[in-house]
Amino acid sequence: MTKTNQDKRTADIILANSVKAFSIVDGKVEAPTAKEFMMAALNKTAAIARLANNSVMTSNR
């Protein structure tokens, strides 16, 4: 795996684990807007799909 592909895969793994409904910053609850949350969820789904697709292709070699 090339460095670039490894970096992309690492980014996808981080993205796949990154969607939160809210976060607590300095004791205050910060919630994303509905649009931000939906975009994050779509990006997460795309990242999971890429990771799944890459692992299937790797196992077929």
Three-state secondary-structure class, residue 23:
strand
pTM for this model (two decimals)? 0.55
- Segments making up each domain of the chain, as ranges: 3-59
Distance CA 12, CA 20 (A): 16
Distance CA 40, CA 13 (A): 14
Q: What is the pLDDT of residues 6-21, one digit of tens each?
A: 888 888 887 777 777 6
Across 14-18, 19-23, 28-32, 44-48, the highest mean pLDDT is recorded for 44-48
